[in-house]
A = this chain, B = another copy of it.
């Protein structure tokens, strides 16, 4: 293990920062579908002229999750398959049972899968670019669509 970049202590310089809040809309078109948000998030950062900082991208929904991985067709198929293997739909979940729940969407597995994936992502920005590797994409997982979804961005930026 070795550092590939070792700036001197106190590099970065004292500076004031901006706090930016914004909401973006994602219109989904399937019950369980994945969406590549990378270009949209990059465009928001460009519009705000963000040089360095962090972005917090949050789903405002309990059945819409976020994660970072490769945007490859075969893998996207596998991700959806994996979610339904790890948390099986219609597996006697109490949230799907009208005796215990007033939710009639039969979406217990959607909530449970979202809980495992996570509702938010923190992403770095350095020199005006999202800090992502060559094969990394910012992916939204619609787990109970189609719906109109809102995602919040909080940006701390120089």
Q: A residues within 8 Å of B by Cβ?
A: 1-7, 9-27, 35, 40, 44, 47-49, 52-54, 56, 58-62, 67-70, 72-75, 77-79, 81-82, 86-87, 93-95, 97, 100-101, 103, 108, 111-112, 114-127, 131-136, 150, 152, 154-158
Q: Given that A95-B72, A112-B82, A135-B62 are contacting pairs, would A3 and B16 also be in contact in the complex, using a CB cutoff of 8 Å?
A: no
Q: Nearest-CB distance from A60 to chain B (Å)?
A: 3
Which residues of chain B are within 8 angstroms of A47 by Cβ–Cβ distance?
Answer: 6, 9
Q: Is the CB of A82 within 8 A of B87?
A: yes
In the complex, what residue of chain B is closest to A140 when comparing beta carbons? B1
In the complex, what residue of chain B is closest to A13 when comparing beta carbons? B18
Q: Is the CB of B75 within 8 A of A108?
A: yes
In the complex, what residue of chain B is closest to A67 when comparing beta carbons? B115
